[in-house]
Structure 1
Amino acid sequence: MAADLSWREPGLDTLVGLLERYSPTGAESEAVSWLVERMRTLGFSTATVDEIGNVVGWIGEGGYQVMLLGHIDTVPGEIPIRLEDGRLYGRGAVDAKGPLAAFVDAVARVGEMPGIQWIVIGAVGEEGDSRGARYLLPRYRPHLLIIGEPSGWERLTLGYKGSAWVQITARRTLAHTAAPVESACEAAVDIWARLKQRVLAFNQGREGAFDQLLATLRRMESGSDGFEEWARVQVGLRLPPELERPTLDKMLKEVADGATYVIEDFIPAYRAEKNTPLVRAFLAAIRARGGKPSFTLKSGTSDMNLAAPAWGCPTLAYGPGDSSLDHTPQEHILVEEYLKAVDVLADALRGLASSHLSLRE
Structure 2
Amino acid sequence: MSISIDPVDLACRLIACPSVTPATGAVFDVLEEALAGIGFAVHRFIAGDAPDGPVENLFAIRGSGAPHFAYAGHLDVVPPGAGWAGDPFTPQIRGDLLYGRGAVDMKGSIAAFVAAAARHADHPGTISLIITGDEEGPAVHGTVVLIEHMQAAGQIPDLCLVGEPTSVNRLGDMIKIGRRGSVNMWITVAGTQGHVAYPHLADNPIPALVRILSRIEAITLDEGTDWFQASNIEITDVEVGNPATNVIPAAAKARLSIRFNDLHSGEALAARIRAICEEESPRAALEAKISGEAFFTPPGAFSDMISAAITKHTGITPELSTTGGTSDARFLSKLCPVVEFGLLNATMHKLDEAVAVQDIAVLTDIFADIIEAALKRSKSILV
2:339 aligned residue: 316
Percent identity, aligned pairs only?
Answer: 24
- Summarize the Cα distance change of 1:88–1:223 in structure 2 as closer, same or farther, 3 Å threshold: same
- The separation in 2 between residues aligned to 1:179 and 1:190, in whole angstroms, is 23
Q: Which residue of 2 aligns with 1:146?
A: 161
Q: For residue 214 of structure 1, what is the aligned residue in structure 2?
A: 232
- Give the secondary-structure state (helix, strand or coil) at the position aligned to 1:73: coil
Deviation at 1:288, TM superposition (A): 1.7
Against the structure 1 CA distance between its residues 192 and 330, is the aligned structure 2 distance closer, same or farther, given a 3 Å change threshold? farther
Establish whether residue 166 from structure 1 lines up as the match of residue 178 from structure 2: no
Alignment CA distance shift 1:341-1:37 (3 Å): same
Q: Which residue of 2 aligns with 1:197?
A: 218
Q: Tell me, yes or no, if structure 1 residue 22 matches structure 2 residue 18.
A: yes
Name 2:258's counterpart in structure 1: 237
Deviates more, 1:158-167 or 1:51-60: 51-60
More off after superposition, 214-223 vs 329-338: 214-223
Partner of residue 144, structure 2: 134
Structure 2 residue matching 1:320: 3-state secondary structure:
coil
Post-superposition offset of 1:287? 2.0
Q: Taking structure 1 as reference, are residues 90 and 279 closer, same or farther at Cα in structure 2, changes over 3 Å only?
A: same
Q: Distance in 2 between matches of 1:342 and 1:320?
A: 11
Distance in 2 between residues matched to 1:338 and 1:187, nearest whole Å: 55
Deviation at 1:111, TM superposition (A): 2.1
Deviation of the 1:20 alpha carbon:
1.4
Q: What is residue 285 of structure 1 aligned with on the other side?
A: 309
Structure 2 residue corresponding to 1:120, chosen from 129, 148, 151: 129
Contact between 2:265 and 2:294, CA under 8 Å: does it hold in 1?
no
User: Is the Cα contact below 8 Å between 1:241 and 1:271 reproduced in 2?
Assistant: yes
Change (3 A) 1:187 1:335: farther
User: How far apart are 1:249 and its partner, in Å?
Assistant: 2.7
> Which whole-Å CA distance do the structure 1 matches of 2:93 and 2:210 have between them?
47
Q: CA deviation at 1:15?
A: 1.1
- The aligned residue for residue 78 of structure 2 is 75
Q: CA shift at 1:26, angstroms?
A: 1.8
The CA distance in 1 between the partners of 2:119 and 2:236, in whole Å, is 44
CA distance in 2, matches of 1:302, 1:251: 25
1:48 paired with 2:43, answer yes
Give the SS at the match of 1:236: strand
Number of residues of Structure 1 aligned to a counterpart in Structure 2: 340
Q: Quick check: 1:332 aligned with 2:354? A: yes
1:109 to 90, 108, 119: 119
Q: Distance in 2 between matches of 1:299 and 1:48?
A: 32
Distance 2:104 2:216 in 1: 34
Q: TM-score, length-normalised on structure 1?
A: 0.83
Pairwise CA distance, 1:216? 3.6
Go from structure 1 to structure 2 and tell me whether the alpha carbon gap of 1:218 and 1:36 turns closer, same or farther (over 3 Å shift). farther
What's the secondary structure of 1:118's corresponding residue?
strand
- Tell me the residue number matched to 1:354: 376
User: CA offsets per residue over residues 313-342 of structure 1, 9 Å max, x none?
Assistant: 3321111122x4332224322222222111
**Distance change in 2, residues 1:272/1:227 (3 Å):** same
Distance in 2 (CA, whole Å) between partners of 1:343 and 1:160 is: 26
Q: Offset at 1:266?
A: 4.7
Aligned counterparts of 2:315 and 2:69: Cα–Cα separation in 1: 24
Cα–Cα, structure 1 residues 92 and 192, in superposed 2: closer, same or farther, change >3 Å? farther
The 3-state SS of whatever aligns with 1:137 is: helix
**Deviation for aligned residue 1:82:** 3.2
Name the counterpart of 2:3.
none
Counterpart among 316, 323, 327 of residue 302 in structure 1: 327
Structure 2: distance between partners of 1:263 and 1:127: 20
SS of equivalent residue, structure 1 residue 28: coil
The whole-number CA distance in structure 1 between the counterparts of 2:365 and 2:324 is 27
**What displacement does 1:107 show?**
1.2
The alpha carbon displacement at 1:244 in A equals 1.8
Where structure 1 has 5 or more consecutive residues not aligned to the other structure, the ranges are 1-9
Structure 2 letter corresponding to 1:19: I
Report Cα offsets for 1:142-183 as digits up to 9, x if no partner.
Answer: 111111211223132101111111111111111224566874
**Which amino acid in structure 1 is aligned with residue 24 of structure 2?**
E
Match of 1:31 in 2: 27
Deviations 1:200-222 (A, max 9, x none): x224x448893322334444544
Shift of 1:264: 1.0
Query: Once the 2 structures are TM-superposed, how far is the Cα of residue 38 of structure 1 from its aligned partner?
Result: 2.6
Q: For 1:67 and 1:173, locate their aligned partners in 2 and report how far apart those are by CA, in whole Å.
A: 56
Contact kept in structure 2, 1:238 and 1:299, CA below 8 Å: no
Residue 59 of structure 1, aligned match among 57, 62, 66: 62
Whether the 8 Å contact between 1:44 and 1:57 is mirrored in structure 2 is: no
Bigger CA drift: 325-334 or 153-162? 325-334
Work out whether residues 96 and 358 of structure 2, in 8 Å CA contact, stay in contact via their aligned partners in 1: yes
User: For 1:94, what is the secondary structure of its paired residue?
Assistant: helix
State the partner residue of 1:7. Answer: none
